Structure 1
Amino acid sequence: MSAPEATTTATGLDEMGPVDYLVIEMPADRMTGRGLDLLLDLVDRGIIRVIDLEIVSTGTDGSITRLELDDLDGEPSVELSVFAGARSGLLDDEDVAAAGGVLEPGTVGVVLLYENLWAAPLARELRRNGAQLVAGGRIPVQALLAALDAAEA
């Protein structure tokens, strides 16, 4: 599997697809790296490009600590060193602190900043024609399921 890499040139920025972020919360005692093989699959298939991947731990006292991939417990499902270079510098200490602030105390979070490569050709063409993205959002699966249940009732 290939290593994630960030696009940094001005020309590269003109060619980029939309960039999203996720903050994923996990129980601290179950942070093994499982599921990262699926993330690598998305990278290998050219669907996304990982720009930044940070791991943060929240103490019961509210403290926030950056973790390294080597700090993960258990048997990881993939060789995690491939993510070691996934740091563009776009996520600074303030961003990591903000991400840690949405986590429950005593948990571990993964902060993922990624480019949607699948949408890059559309985004590039729209920009060339003067269009720009003015709003975006994400609907949590739980909200979709609740809405579907309510519609069926």
Structure 2
Amino acid sequence: MGPIDYLVLEFPGNQFNGDVLPRLLDLVEGGLIKIIDLMFVRKDVDGEVVILSVSDLDGDGELDLGVFEGASSGLLGEDDLDDVGGVLEAGSSAAVLIYENVWAAPFAAAVRASGGQLVSTGRIPLEELLETLDETEPDA
């Protein structure tokens, strides 16, 4: 297996319009990632946290995300989704995604076969990278 990552994407004002879904599907169809879990959480204006069905996000009775229906390994529990709801602004929603980096699986297997092991991983926030690049860029 490749490394497993998660994302929590907040959509203030519940303004999720689905534009991100084709890009996510491109990653899956391109063999770059495999979706392990995909859940949606909404925090009402009164602060109540609601877990939404993957298949019908807007409640109109039409299947919005049928291609992702059933993407649930059980890794995400109600406590996890409550934690997500706790950090959301009232009147917002979030997508919670756990995925395997399929592209990295052959590399990870080669590392293990060579006796190596992963001892650390992390991410550098884009804002930090841009700030550092701005600081090191010579003035024009």
TM score, norm. by length of structure 2:
0.85
Contact 1:32/1:73 (8 A) holds in 2: no
Residue from 112, 118, 128 that aligns with 2:97? 112
Q: Which runs of 5+ in 2 are unaligned?
A: none
SS in 1 for 2:98: strand
RMSD: 2.3
Distance 1:107 1:101 in 2: 11
Aligned AA (2:68): F
Distance 1:95 1:134 in 2: 25
Tell me the alpha carbon deviations over residues 53-80 of structure 1, each in whole angstroms, 9 at most, x when there is no partner: 0100113343321112312379x9x952
Runs of 4+ displaced beyond 3 Å: none
Query: Hey, what does 1:149 align to over in structure 2?
Result: 134
2:12 is aligned with 1:31: no
2:87 is aligned with 1:102: yes
Distance 1:71 1:112 in 2: 15
Aligned AA (2:105): A
Paired residues, number: 136
2:49 is aligned with 1:72: no
Percent of aligned positions that are identical? 49
Contact 2:31/2:103 (8 A) holds in 1: yes
Distance 1:73 1:61 in 2: 19
Contact 1:31/1:73 (8 A) holds in 2: no
Distance 1:28 1:96 in 2: 18
Larger radius of gyration: 2
TM score, norm. by length of structure 1:
0.78
Q: Which residues of 2 match residues 2-151 of structure 1 at below 5 A?
A: 16-69=1-54, 70-72=56-58, 80-151=65-136
Please report how far the alpha carbon of residue 40 of structure 1 lies from its aligned counterpart in structure 2 after TM superposition: 0.5
